[in-house]
Amino acid sequence: MTKSFKPPSGLGKAGKALYSRLASEYDVSDAAGAALLLNAAQAVDRIEEARAAIERDGLLLTDRLGKRYVHPLQTVEISASKALLAAMRALRLAPGADE
């Protein structure tokens, strides 16, 4: 039997969806688990926000002198992806988490 868990305020659509799904499917009843779950949900929101901006602006931007450079939010997307994976592993919900 799964319960419905209300996600904390401040999460975006993707973060709320992840939080609700994982909280209802897995036993995350301790404070550390709840903090990791919140971290994962926040990371998903950061990933979505960075991806939206990158899709809007393009992977490469041009400075005022015409030089091309990598969109700075790519580092945010990469960092958030690593944070998501780390939280999922810590919650033992990622592939290879039991290794």
Alpha-helix runs per DSSP H in the chain: 13-25, 31-57, 73-90
Structure pTM? Answer: 0.83
Find the length of the chain. Answer: 99
Count of C-beta atoms within a 10 Å radius of residue 17: 14
Q: Which of 29, 30, 22 is nearest to 88 (CA)?
A: 22
CA 74 to chain centre: 14
Q: For residue range 33-63, what is the model confidence (pLDDT) as tens digits?
A: 889 999 999 999 999 999 999 999 999 999 9
Distance CA 56, CA 73 (A): 12
pLDDT digits (tens, 9 = 90+) for 79-97: 999 999 999 999 888 665 5
